[in-house]
Structure 1
Amino acid sequence: MEPKYQHCNIYELIEDKQFVAWVLKGSKNQEWENFVKENPGMNDKIRRAREIILLLRDSYDVLDENSVIDMWRNVERFNYRYKIKNRSIRFRRALSLAASVLLVLSVGVIGSLYLANNKENNYQFVAKNISEKDDEAKVFLPNGKEVKINEDNSTISVNNNNKLVINNQEITDITDKETEKKGEVRMNEVVIPYGNKSEIILADGTKVWLNAGSRLAFPTKFTGEKREVFLEGEACFKVTKNEHQPFVVKASDVAIKVFGTHFNISAYPSDPNIETVLLEGSISLTNKKTLGLGKNEIMLKPNQRAVYEKEHKEVVVSDESNADIYIAWTEGWLQFSKESLKSVFTKLERFYNIEVILPENFPSSELITGKLDLKNSLEDVLVALSDVAKIEYRISNNKIYVDKKMNLMNRR
């Protein structure tokens, strides 16, 4: 056994994977028993650390070493937030605190989304992160196959024979017999690079418009109690109604539950917010609170917009009299109302796969209103935008250098 354990305190033992593995699974049992005999001064610390680990395990009967350590760290963060910083408190007080926190965890007020989001919301895409260098849309199948899509705009679906159909052409059989035998649900992944977009028809007839720089994971067939998909980026959903099998979209820290409705969600990893706009029907938006301790659930009505602030884990809901502008991109338009120039440039970067470079003193928070036809060339769009926003620009390969007209005049 490593000498370092002779100097560990209770908290260091709880955060050590080998120690936790011994307590949970009996890993290296003989070595640890010898260590306990040879170091009687550590007996009390080991006993106390074991009690806390077992308490964590008993609250959730399927915890491994990593889950126990993560849960303990979450409790520690909770303690710190409430000014419980004194490491010299008696063990009974510490254990009582952990037990009280875990009791609340077990009834779902604290930590319900800690486990749920880490095991469910945070789907791990097989495809690599999208970069500006990617120029082909792709479909990654559960059997490991990769299908490339040459067109900038595509339509993807799965027919009744489990054949992947791209732009009305049957491509391949995506039946995964081994997975079906085991009753597992494995995902297909559609990856749309910057400069492209796609329309996807899911097995239940739900239509999904996937915007540039986005990824969607979905099963070949929907089984079980809910229809679940995972999104990174922006998509517009028109969901087929099924009261007995609700449709759930999970995007980072947010889950949206619907029965049949029309809505748009923008959840790009690089954006500070996740935005959802409801056009028809009703949806519930669930997000985790600060530190992942607990959850909020908010109901949205048609023509409402919910903005989830990732940093503060808060949701702000507002009425939108013209909600259609948020799905104008599905028809090839970028429509904006009192939107910051920086936000508009970010959307143009994704759609045209370009990089917009602004000077340090550029007033990027300035709000503008307008409508751009994305079916036009980049040059035409920039000409139109320059009239609305009073900007000058220069194109160099895929980089656009922008400045305000008045700034140029002032320099003269």
Structure 2
Amino acid sequence: MKSKFAEYSTEQLLEEKSFIEWVLLGMHNSEWENFFDDHPEIRPHEKAAREIIHLLQDKYEILDEVSVLQLWKSIDSFDNIHKQKIKKLTIRRRLSWAASVLLIVSLGTFGFLYFNDSWQNYRFASSEITESDESRMVLSNGEEISLKEDNSTIAMDEVAEQVIVNDSIIDLSQKMDAGKSEAKMNEVVIPYGKKSELLLADGTKVWLNAGSRLAFPTKFTGKKREIFLEGEACFQVAHNNEKPFIVNAGGLDIKVLGTNFNVSAYPTEKTVETVLVEGSVAVSRSKVIKLGNKETILKPNQKASFHKENNEMTLTDETDVDLYIAWTYGWLRYERESLESVLRKVERYYNVEIELPAAYPSDDKISGKLDLENSLPTVMGFLSDASGFNYRITGNKVLIDERLEKLPTR
């Protein structure tokens, strides 16, 4: 353990995620044991914190989610209902931290609160994207507007209370209930094989990639500009010092004032990637309770990758960020990227299913650039030449045969 933890109190131990994981799940065992051996003066705090965790776990592990959230919001209510247990806690402030532990353990496991994306405070009203979907906009009143073009454009006009969809003007004032339009979200659903460009009410430009959903208000009110993304989008955020722009995507909060960045947060991918082109962004894990929630600050030409399986964030320098935003210009660029990863992107762009042989090497890396205006056979022909495989296109499926020979990496 780092020396700075030597000053830990009971409350601070309860805030430390890895400590609770150690008590509940036996994780980080040697790390914490060595720490307390080196700092025996902290043992009384460790004992008190452990007692609180087990006390609450034993009695309240079967509480439903609604009850737990109510207890979190009202410490006094918790005190009245469970006063016999609370007599064991000699410090009033401990109770608030005990409630936070209760919120964790009563949901079944500690990991649920920290790692489960279902705790996001927004649920898309539109159905999940399927192969048969058409591009559409779902207004906050539930009305759906078909986006017939492959590359649609949408512009919100909060002054005139209108939305311009391609060449059509829709009067929102006639479709919203008075006083309620600001509280609900509009949604844009872009299926596989299509794209869209949006101009939000604050002047922010959004390029929405294939297989994505975006939720946004008709106009931004309050102290922040908050939207929700599933899939991939590139943002050029209008600067506003008074209202930070926040993208909720894949369990992350990405906060900016004005900048240009790309977010890839497809549910089927193992990582959520944020690439900064210019400006500055702060990336943090979305949680109902932000205990120990740290921000990762990105500088231009950096990428933050959030790994869903182990809940870790990595930060890397990128020499060519254009690789990540080339899709907004109709190109798919890749540099020493696995063939499997490139093919997943091709699937989304062309709305097809590509099958690789089970024995195909997963670490096969390729480099190049694809013009997404070309037909699927042209694109697959280029990839076939680069990787040395044969393929067959049957309806909506692309079947790849075993690689004929090992070609040098480009």
TM-score using structure 2 length:
0.73
1:15 aligns with 2:13: no
Counterpart of 2:44 in structure 1 is none
Are residues 350 and 182 of structure 1, via their aligned partners in 2, closer, same or farther at CA, if it must alter by over 3 Å? Answer: closer
1:161-180 aligned at under 5 Å gives the runs 161-173=160-172, 177-178=176-177
Counterpart of 1:193 in structure 2 is 191
Of residues 219, 222, 225, the one that matches 2:223 is 225
Are residues 118 and 341 of structure 1, via their aligned partners in 2, closer, same or farther at CA, if it must alter by over 3 Å? Answer: closer
Can you give the 5+ residue segments of structure 2 that lack an aligned partner in the other structure?
1-55, 105-109
1:377 aligns with 2:394: no
Instruction: Give 3-state SS (helix, strand or coil) of 1:257's partner.
Output: strand
Structure 1 position 173, deviation (Å): 2.3
Q: d(CA) in 2 for partners of 1:309 and 1:60? A: 38
Structure 1 position 123, deviation (Å): 1.5
Deviation string 1:139-161 (CA, Å, 9 cap, x unpaired) is 00111111111111100112231
Of residues 246, 249, 266, the one that matches 2:247 is 249
Q: d(CA) in 2 for partners of 1:183 and 1:166? A: 18
Counterpart of 2:404 in structure 1 is 406
Q: d(CA) in 2 for partners of 1:119 and 1:353? A: 27
Are residues 338 and 116 of structure 1, via their aligned partners in 2, closer, same or farther at CA, if it must alter by over 3 Å? Answer: closer
1:143 aligned partner, one-letter code: N
Counterpart of 2:365 in structure 1 is 367
Of residues 266, 269, 272, the one that matches 2:270 is 272
Counting aligned pairs with the same residue, the percent is 46
Are residues 399 and 182 of structure 1, via their aligned partners in 2, closer, same or farther at CA, if it must alter by over 3 Å? Answer: closer
Instruction: Give 3-state SS (helix, strand or coil) of 2:126's partner.
Output: coil
| Higher radius of gyration, 1 or 2 | 1
Q: Is the 8 A contact 1:138 1:192 kept in 2?
A: yes
Structure 1 position 96, deviation (Å): 8.1
Q: Is the 8 A contact 2:212 2:232 kept in 1?
A: yes
Are residues 115 and 219 of structure 1, via their aligned partners in 2, closer, same or farther at CA, if it must alter by over 3 Å? Answer: farther
Counterpart of 1:130 in structure 2 is 129
Q: d(CA) in 1 for partners of 2:374 and 2:406? A: 27
Q: Is the 8 A contact 2:182 2:217 kept in 1?
A: no
Structure 1 position 57, deviation (Å): 5.1
Instruction: Give 3-state SS (helix, strand or coil) of 1:181's partner.
Output: coil
Structure 1 position 10, deviation (Å): 9.2
TM-score using structure 1 length:
0.73
Deviation string 1:238-276 (CA, Å, 9 cap, x unpaired) is 001011111000013100000110000000011110001
Structure 1 position 106, deviation (Å): 6.6
Are residues 124 and 174 of structure 1, via their aligned partners in 2, closer, same or farther at CA, if it must alter by over 3 Å? Answer: farther
1:6-405 aligned at under 5 Å gives the runs 11=58, 15=62, 56=72, 58-59=74-75, 100=94, 102-103=96-97, 114=113, 121-134=120-133, 136-159=134-157, 160-173=159-172, 177-178=176-177, 181=179, 185-287=183-285, 294-405=292-403
Are residues 364 and 53 of structure 1, via their aligned partners in 2, closer, same or farther at CA, if it must alter by over 3 Å? Answer: closer
Q: Is the 8 A contact 1:288 1:294 kept in 2?
A: no
Instruction: Give 3-state SS (helix, strand or coil) of 1:384's partner.
Output: helix
Q: d(CA) in 2 for partners of 1:231 and 1:57? A: 28
Are residues 348 and 10 of structure 1, via their aligned partners in 2, closer, same or farther at CA, if it must alter by over 3 Å? Answer: closer
Can you give the 5+ residue segments of structure 1 that lack an aligned partner in the other structure?
1-8, 25-51, 69-89
Instruction: Give 3-state SS (helix, strand or coil) of 1:296's partner.
Output: coil
Q: Is the 8 A contact 2:115 2:308 kept in 1?
A: no
Q: d(CA) in 2 for partners of 1:317 and 1:355? A: 32
Q: Is the 8 A contact 1:127 1:140 kept in 2?
A: yes
Q: d(CA) in 2 for partners of 1:350 and 1:235? A: 13
Q: d(CA) in 2 for partners of 1:60 and 1:276? A: 41
Q: d(CA) in 2 for partners of 1:98 and 1:220? A: 44
Q: Is the 8 A contact 2:163 2:170 kept in 1?
A: yes
2:263 aligned partner, one-letter code: I
Larger mean CA deviation between 181-190 and 263-272 belongs to: 181-190
Q: d(CA) in 1 for partners of 2:209 and 2:125? A: 19
Cα RMSD, aligned residues only? 3.7
Deviation string 1:196-248 (CA, Å, 9 cap, x unpaired) is 00000000111000000000000000111011100000000000101111100
Instruction: Give 3-state SS (helix, strand or coil) of 2:295's partner.
Output: strand
Deviation string 1:159-213 (CA, Å, 9 cap, x unpaired) is 23122211132134256653x5268521000000000000000001110000000
Q: Is the 8 A contact 2:140 2:181 kept in 1?
A: no
1:214 aligned partner, one-letter code: S
2:128 aligned partner, one-letter code: N
Instruction: Give 3-state SS (helix, strand or coil) of 2:294's partner.
Output: strand
2:247 aligned partner, one-letter code: V
Structure 1 position 293, deviation (Å): 5.1
Structure 1 position 60, deviation (Å): 8.9
Q: d(CA) in 2 for partners of 1:337 and 1:331? A: 17
Q: Is the 8 A contact 2:182 2:219 kept in 1?
A: no
Q: Is the 8 A contact 1:190 1:217 kept in 2?
A: yes
1:212 aligned partner, one-letter code: A
